[in-house]
Amino acid sequence: MSEMVRFHRRNSQEYFSVLRLCAATYRAGASVAELAQDYGVSKQTIYHRLKSMNVKMPTRTERRLPAFRTVYLRAHGVTLKAISEELGITVSGVSERLRLRGVKGADALLLLNTQQLEAYRVALDEDCLQHDDAMEIALESGGISGN
């Protein structure tokens, strides 16, 4: 019997401890399939448990292509065609990804320092925020580079 099922029946404190560990492992990069195998439950059970812990689950498009890399390359003048070749998707896929995140111009990324770029990446990819909101968080995380 899996830890999730066994602890659920035995002791809710232990059960929630397992849930927190599962959520942390997912946030650290483990896939739902890996977690399901590790805990001996179905993928659907993992999805339900993560949802119960209010873990943001990315959409299919978000899972396929992290937004930060796309925006970063575009801000550095890389063409849509070159981005699509690097990421292994179509040009329209790159355009759609940028559009979904509300990116019209990403030139401001060039002014961000390393700390701000990381804050922007987390806000865009992990928190699934729009470009403008992610940029606001990045700017709040430290001064513009060169200042």
pLDDT digits (tens, 9 = 90+) for 82-133: 988 887 778 887 887 787 777 776 666 767 778 888 888 888 877 777 788 8
Helix axes 12-27 and 3-10, enclosed angle (nearest 10): 150
103-116 confidence digits (pLDDT tens): 776 666 767 778 88
Question: What domain count does the chain have?
Answer: 2
Q: Higher pLDDT residue, 1 or 16?
A: 16
| 104 lies in the same domain as 53 | no
| 71 lies in the same domain as 115 | yes
Domain range for residue 94? 61-140
**pLDDT at site 146:** 40
Residue 111 lies in a domain: yes
Residue 145 lies in a domain: no
For residues 101 and 38, what is the distance between their CA atoms, to the nearest angstrom? 33
Side chain identity, residue 45: T
Q: What is the pTM of this model?
A: 0.47
Cα 41–chain centre separation: 24
Residue 21 lies in a domain: yes
Residue where the block lists tokens 């937004």: 67
| 88 lies in the same domain as 111 | yes
Residue 147 lies in a domain: no
| 66 lies in the same domain as 133 | yes
| 17 lies in the same domain as 74 | no
**pLDDT at site 88:** 77
| 75 lies in the same domain as 12 | no
| 83 lies in the same domain as 50 | no
* Largest CA-CA distance found in the chain, in angstroms, rounded: 58
